[in-house]
């Protein structure tokens, strides 16, 4: 009988959850505060390294419209309607069975892109400081909670707020595991995110935001630019780290030299003051 049979542990490929498939348009324009594209031209694309996509996304809030267009045509669109509502599993399912309308896509509010970008940027910076035993920066908390002052809040409480903030985002997303046993996975069932391929770029970014915060390597804030990043290895507290972009551009080297000069100058000034 089945009940007496030993249950073998199921092997689930991690890539089925981390390599999220998103909608990528070949052409995008910006007009009247919206990102416009033709859904019929879009193709679904999987990315092997969504973490790198997240790194680029969290910089968009301070970039130009041209940067936004390049990102959308390279990595995909958020997957929201013109009112900013996420294309949910339930909406697509109801439309398929005749209980509702298909959501209108192809017109995404730019302010929503910038809002998510800045909020994810702030969450990563706060998480990096909390992982280092420090309080989140006040300006980052203001991005998340404009009407709340975090002065005097404990580090443990701030961690709880990060948890609750990301949890609220997850509740409104398509990040629920479902069984996939058709099309490309007809030979081997898999556990994936999103019912009937409804998972969006925003879902993928949110999932990798959680992976970054929970990474055993931790997070660091670049000593040259304000960006948070996942270092290759953990370092002791107080160590200054630099992101790959600043290393490649030479900013990290120049910043390190400037810090070294300041330290030497401070040492000389202390020595002179003692000699007087």
Give dist(CA 116, CA 126) in Å, integer: 15
How far apart, in Å, are the Cα atoms of 101 and each of 94, 104, 128, 170, 227?
8, 9, 42, 24, 41
Q: 93-104: per-residue pLDDT in tens?
A: 787 778 877 777
pLDDT tens-digit map of 157-211 = 999 999 999 999 999 898 888 888 888 788 888 888 777 667 789 998 998 899 8
Asked whether residue 2 carries a pLDDT value surpassing 60, the answer given is no
231 domain residue, yes or no? no
Domain membership of residue 24 (yes or no) is yes
Q: Which residues contact 132 (CB under 8 A, 6 or more apart)?
A: 218, 220, 237
Q: Is 111 a domain residue?
A: yes
Chain CA centroid to CA 103, Å: 24
Nearest CA among 95, 125, 109 for reference residue 195: 95
Establish if 275 belongs to a structural domain: no
| Residue 25 domain-assigned (yes or no) | yes
Q: Give pLDDT tens digits for 25-54.
A: 999 999 999 999 998 999 988 876 777 899
State the total domains in the chain: 1
Q: Is 94 domain-assigned?
A: yes
State the residue range of the domain holding 47.
12-222
Give a yes or no: residue 52 inside a domain.
yes
Tell me if residue 83 falls in helix, strand or coil: coil
């Amino acid at each position: 009988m089945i009940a007496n049979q030993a249950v073998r542990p199921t092997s689930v490929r991690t890539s089925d959850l981390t390599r999220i498939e998103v909608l990528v348009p070949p052409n995008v324009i910006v007009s009247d505060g919206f990102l416009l594209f033709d859904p019929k031209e879009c193709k679904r694309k999987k990315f092997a390294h969504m973490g790198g996509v997240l790194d680029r996304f969290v910089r968009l809030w301070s970039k130009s419209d041209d940067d936004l267009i390049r990102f959308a045509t390279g990595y995909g669109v958020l997957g929201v309607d013109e009112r900013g509502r996420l294309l949910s599993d339930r909406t697509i399912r109801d439309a398929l069975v005749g209980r509702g309308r298909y959501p209108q896509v192809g017109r995404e509010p730019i302010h929503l892109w910038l809002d998510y970008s800045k909020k994810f940027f702030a969450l990563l910076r706060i998480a990096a400081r909390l992982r280092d035993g420090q309080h989140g920066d006040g300006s980052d908390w203001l991005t998340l909670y404009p009407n709340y002052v975090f002065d005097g809040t404990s580090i443990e409480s701030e961690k709880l707020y990060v948890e609750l903030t990301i949890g609220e985002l997850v509740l409104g997303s398509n990040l629920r595991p479902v069984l996939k046993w058709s099309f490309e996975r007809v030979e081997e069932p898999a556990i994936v995110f999103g019912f009937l391929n409804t998972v969006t770029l925003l879902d993928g970014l949110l999932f990798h935001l959680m992976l970054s915060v929970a990474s055993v390597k931790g997070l660091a804030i670049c000593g040259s630019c304000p960006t948070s990043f996942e270092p290759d290895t953990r370092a002791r507290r107080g160590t200054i780290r630099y992101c790959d972009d600043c290393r490649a551009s030479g900013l990290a080297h120049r910043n390190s030299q400037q810090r070294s000069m300041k330290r030497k100058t401070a040492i000389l000034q202390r020595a002179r003051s003692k000699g007087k």
